[in-house]
């Protein structure tokens, strides 16, 4: 089509948005949007429209309403698809390289945290994954997968014009019914069966991890560590009172658990080798005091009238540190630990007196020693008394691999414990640490909830059947929405089957039949990833805390409702020229333009391009 104006226009093109199929036009000025990262070209249709408006400035118009909603759903589904294959005991690992560090993991929260997600709405899935990790510790992949599938099942209803407000209302109601159904299905535990339940919960949490083949070693460690805190009603302090230490080298089976505190030997000075390395029933002194001679600060000036006065100043400095060391010895301490440095003078002095000392102890290690031994951290050596000292049954410096560890055992308070991990590579040990942390949080949540449910997709299938039956009692669009949510729940057993390499269609059909025909008698049937069939997962010992499932469902529904409530995305970048309003060109109403728009107008009218056009803006000069 010929150009009636005889020239090609200059174009300002803002590359932001979601989908070229959602381009909209209006006249004077014409607004259009490019919302696909892979579609930056100008279509022939747009090119034709531009030919009829040679003096028009083209700028972005963020999509609204249905196109915006569809865009957000597509983005969230793409994010959930990234972690889909990590679900379950047969899930695969992801290798994430950020340019300098390599992370190998199948933990959903870890992967989501490492992904650089730019889409504003899709970041909601990162938030719910982090929330699930902090609240429960496990199920971080499930919650992301479930939220993405709920939105995907709702997408056809949005495209057909069902109002988002109606969808959100029925989704919230269905989510509440699903959570209540999970709580009704939960099996409480107490008494003699409690430890067995906790062991199976820990084993289930570890079953999908890199150390799954060693769950017989780690599950008892995790249960013992958390049970100690439960007996003292300190479950909320799991992260601070249970330490996890990593030692590269050796075999993973050489990992061990210390009922007490263990930390790596700190930097040592001359005289450290002469120290006593093992004590029975020692007295422990904890300090936040520096026991080291310091050089004078720069530009320090001391004026003296007699050369003998200089020696007095030096003697006074030495006397100060000797008074500090004598105060530590006189209070009866056998072990001195400090957050700040303990220098070579103090190290040799304590060694001569038969004491053990260590400086630059990490703050969390010092805190755990305080909790275990009952010692109080002192900020001064003045007035030290016996009541500020702690004690333990045995202290020793132990060789672990090629490193030395300070170990406190038989502590009177029995609050703290340490899990020491061994492994061949840094990546393996790091993933082992994340796996043990997840298991600790799962056992903690199981004790708090006091009930468990079966895993393997059994709960999701039973809740799905319940919601389908409930949907038959609803009139109108709500029936379709509840059915869509019920179908979305089946993504968990479906993905478990896919990741195990079995036909998900056959397994889902068998599960639907079991749950429909046998009713409550078949409510615990889920996916058997070893044989490719269905089995009673509760009888097989695949147990999870009931809070895990209920929190996953409620978080996924909340995230879906948040996405459905968004009808427009507005990005307002800061102006690059603060004085643009005062010095820029005037628009048709006589008001000043920004420098970016002024430069664009000048360029489009044939003038020279100058200044910055703003982020994401490119200048295209037509061929005249």
Between residues 244 and 139, which one has the greater pLDDT? 244
What's the pLDDT score for residue 28? 30
Asked whether residue 315 is domain-assigned, the answer is yes
Which residues in 114-142 are b (16+ Cβ under 10 Å) and which e?
Answer: ebebebebbebbbebbebbbeebbbbbbb
Residues 333 and 292 in one domain: yes
Euclidean distance between CA atoms 526 and 522, whole angstroms: 9
pLDDT in tens, 45-55: 334 333 434 33
CB atoms within 10 A of CB 197: 23
164 confidence band (pLDDT: 50, 70, 90): very high
* Residue in 18, 103, 141, 418 annotated catalytic: 141
Do 433 and 500 sit in the same domain of this protein?
Answer: no
Compute the distance between CA of residue 492 and CA of residue 527 in angstroms, rounded to an integer: 10
- Residues 6+ positions from 397 with CB-CB distance below 8 Å: 265, 277, 278, 356, 404, 405, 406, 407
Q: Are 439 and 219 spatial neighbours (Cβ–Cβ below 8 Å)?
A: yes
The phi-psi region of residue 361 (left if phi > 0; otherwise alpha if psi is between -120 and 50; otherwise beta) is: beta
Whether 465 and 534 map to the same domain: the answer is yes
From 18, 103, 107, 124, active-site residue: 107
The residue assigned the tokens 């749950």 is 515
Is 20 known to be catalytic?
no
Token reading at 237: 């302090």
pLDDT band at 618 (very low <50, low <70, confident <90, very high): very low
Told to judge if 141 belongs to the known catalytic residues of this protein, a careful annotator would answer yes
Is 408 inside a domain boundary?
no
At residue 90, the pLDDT reads: 87
| Token representation of residue 619 | 């200048």
Angle between helix axes 458-471 and 164-185 (nearest 10 degrees) is 130
Residue 610 has pLDDT above 70, yes or no: no
Give the up-direction half-sphere exposure of residue 560: CA atoms within 13 A in the CB hemisphere. Answer: 37
CA angle 92, 504, 131 (to 5 degrees): 50
pLDDT of residue 124 exceeding 80? yes
Strand partners, 64: 568
Is the sign of the CA dihedral 258, 262, 265, 271 positive or negative? negative
Of the candidates 114, 70, 71, 65, the residue with the CA atom closest to the CA atom of residue 94: 114
Q: Which structure tokens are listed for 165?
A: 């407000």
Could you tell me if residue 411 is inside a domain? no
Same domain, 97 and 139: yes
Please spell the DSSP secondary structure of 410-450, one letter per residue: S-SS---EEEEEEESSHHHHHHHHHHHHHHHHHHHHHHHH-
Percent of the chain predicted with pLDDT > 90: 33
At 21-32, the pLDDT tens digits run: 333 333 333 333
370 and 275 co-located in one domain: yes
Residues 498 and 597 in one domain: no
CA atoms 611, 617, 623, 624: torsion sign: negative
How many other C-beta atoms can be found within 10 angstroms of the C-beta atom of residue 160?
10
Find the DSSP H helices in 83-122: 108-114
For residues 16 and 113, membership in a common domain is answered with no
Q: Which helix (H) or strand (E) holds 217?
A: helix 215-231
Distance from C-alpha of 196 to C-alpha of 291, rounded to nearest angstrom: 50
Q: Which of 548, 564, 580 is the last residue of a domain?
A: 564
Q: Which of 133, 138, 438, 498 is catalytic?
A: 438
Report the pLDDT averaged over residues 386-410. Answer: 88
CATH label of the domain that carries residue 437: 3.30.260.10
Q: With respect to residue 538, please indicate whether it lies within any of the assigned structural domains.
A: yes
Instruction: Say if residue 472 is in the same domain as residue 422.
Output: no
Please state the rounded mean pLDDT for residues 359-370.
90
Mean pLDDT of the chain: 80
Same domain, 232 and 285: no
E strands in 2-75: 10-14
Three-state DSSP at 287 gives strand
Could you report the per-residue pLDDT of 452-474, keeping only the tens digit for each? Answer: 899 899 999 999 999 999 999 99
| pLDDT score recorded for residue 471 | 94
Q: Which helix (H) or strand (E) holds 129?
A: helix 123-135
- Under 8 Å CB-to-CB from 311, ≥6 apart: which residues? none
The predicted pLDDT at position 110 comes to 86
For residue 600, give both structure tokens.
Answer: 């664009």
What average pLDDT score do residues 410-426 get?
86
Write out the two tokens for 381.
């050596």
- Looking at residue 100, what DSSP letter applies? S
229 is a domain residue: yes
Terminus-to-terminus CA distance in the chain, angstroms? 15
- pLDDT tens, position by position, 474-527: 988 999 999 999 999 999 999 999 999 999 999 999 999 999 988 888 899 999
Q: Is there a single domain that holds both residue 321 and residue 378?
A: yes
DSSP calls for 478-505: HHHHHHHHHHHHTHHHHHHHHHHTS-HH
Query: Beta-carbon neighbour count of residue 308 at 10 Å?
Result: 8
Global pTM exceeds 0.75 = no
Evaluate whether residue 410 is within a structural domain: no
Residue 418 falls in the annotated catalytic set? no
- Coil, helix or strand at residue 206: helix
pLDDT given at position 297: 59
Q: Judge contact between 246 and 434, C-beta under 8 A.
A: no
Assess whether 519 and 617 both reside in one domain: no
User: Per the domain annotation, does 70 fall within a domain?
Assistant: no
- List the structure tokens of 75: 């983005």
Look at residues 538, 564, 590 and tell me which one is the last residue of a structural domain.
564
Q: Is residue 69 part of a domain?
A: no
CATH of residue 520's domain is 1.10.560.10
Q: By C-alpha distance, which of 396, 421, 415 is closest to 407?
A: 396
- Indicate the pLDDT class of residue 7, thresholds 50, 70 and 90: very low
Please confirm, yes or no, whether 505 is among the known catalytic residues.
no
Which residue, 391, 358, 361, is CA-closest to 375? 391
Residue written as token pair 């949080």: 441
Look at the chain and report how many structural domains it folds into.
4
On whether both 164 and 116 belong to a single domain, the answer is yes
Quick check: 46 and 554 in contact, CB under 8 A? no
Other Cβ atoms less than 10 A from the Cβ of 173: the count is 17
Domain of residue 164: give its range.
86-188+454-564
Q: What is the pLDDT of residue 63?
A: 54
* pLDDT tens for each residue of 526-584: 999 988 899 999 988 888 888 889 999 999 999 999 999 988 877 666 555 555 444 44
């Amino acid at each position: 089509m010929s150009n009636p104006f005889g020239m090609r226009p200059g174009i300002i093109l803002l590359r932001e948005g979601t989908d070229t199929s959602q381009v909209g036009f209006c006249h004077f000025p014409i607004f259009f949007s490019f919302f696909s990262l892979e579609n930056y070209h100008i279509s022939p249709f747009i090119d034709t429209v531009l030919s009829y408006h040679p003096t028009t400035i083209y700028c972005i118009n963020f999509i609204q309403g249905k196109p915006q909603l569809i865009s957000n759903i597509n983005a969230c589904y793409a994010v959930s698809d990234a972690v889909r294959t990590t679900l379950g005991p047969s899930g695969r690992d992801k290798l994430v390289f950020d340019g300098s560090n390599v992370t190998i993991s199948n933990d959903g929260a870890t992967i989501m945290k490492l992904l650089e997600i730019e889409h504003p709405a899709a970041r909601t899935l990162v938030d719910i994954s982090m929330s699930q990790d902090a609240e429960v510790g496990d199920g971080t992949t499930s919650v992301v997968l479930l939220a993405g599938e709920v939105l995907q099942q709702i997408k056809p209803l949005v495209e057909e014009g069902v109002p988002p407000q109606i969808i959100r209302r029925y989704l919230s109601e269905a989510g509440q019914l699903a959570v209540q159904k999970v709580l009704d299905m939960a099996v409480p535990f107490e008494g003699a069966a409690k430890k067995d339940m906790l062991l199976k919960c820990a084993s289930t949490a570890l079953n999908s991890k890199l150390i799954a083949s060693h769950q017989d070693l780690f599950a008892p460690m995790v249960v013992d560590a958390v049970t100690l805190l439960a007996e003292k009603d300190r479950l909320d302090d799991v992260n601070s009172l249970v330490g996890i230490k990593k030692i590269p080298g050796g075999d993973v089976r050489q990992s061990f658990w210390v009922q007490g505190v263990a930390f790596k030997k700190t930097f040592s000075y001359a005289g450290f080798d002469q120290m006593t390395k093992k004590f029975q029933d020692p007295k422990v002194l904890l300090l936040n005091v520096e026991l080291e001679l310091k050089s004078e600060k720069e530009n320090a000036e001391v004026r003296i009238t007699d050369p003998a006065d200089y020696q007095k100043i030096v003697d006074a400095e030495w006397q100060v540190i000797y008074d500090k060391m004598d105060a530590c010895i006189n209070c009866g301490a056998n072990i001195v630990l400090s957050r700040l440095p303990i220098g070579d003078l103090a190290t040799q002095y304590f060694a001569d007196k038969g004491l053990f000392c260590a400086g630059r102890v990490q703050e969390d290690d010092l805190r755990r020693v305080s909790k275990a031994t009952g010692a109080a951290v002192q900020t001064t050596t003045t007035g030290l008394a016996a009541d500020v000292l702690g004690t333990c049954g045995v202290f020793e410096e132990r060789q672990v691999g090629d490193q030395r560890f300070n170990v406190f055992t038989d502590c009177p308070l029995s609050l703290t414990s340490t899990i020491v991990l061994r492994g061949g590579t840094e990546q393996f040990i790091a993933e082992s640490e994340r796996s043990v942390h997840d298991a600790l949080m799962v056992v903690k949540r199981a004790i708090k909830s006091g009930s468990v449910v079966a895993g393997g997709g059994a709960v999701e299938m039973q809740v799905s059947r319940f919601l389908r039956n409930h949907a038959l009692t609803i009139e109108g669009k709500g029936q379709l929405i509840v059915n869509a949510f019920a179908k979305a729940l089946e993504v968990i057993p479906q993905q478990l089957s896919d990741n195990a390499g079995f036909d998900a269609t056959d397994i889902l059909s068998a599960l639907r039949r079991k749950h429909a025909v046998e009713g409550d008698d078949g409510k615990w049937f889920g996916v058997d990833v070893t044989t490719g069939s269905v089995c009673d997962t509760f009888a097989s010992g695949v147990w999870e805390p009931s809070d895990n499932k209920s929190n996953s469902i409620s978080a996924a529904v909340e995230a879906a409702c948040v996405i459905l409530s968004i009808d427009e995305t507005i990005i307002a970048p800061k102006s690059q020229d603060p004085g643009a309003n005062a010095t820029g060109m005037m628009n048709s109403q006589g008001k000043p333009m920004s420098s970016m728009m002024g430069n664009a107008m000048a360029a489009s009218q044939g003038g020279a391009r100058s200044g910055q056009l703003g982020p994401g803006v490119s200048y295209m000069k037509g061929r005249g």
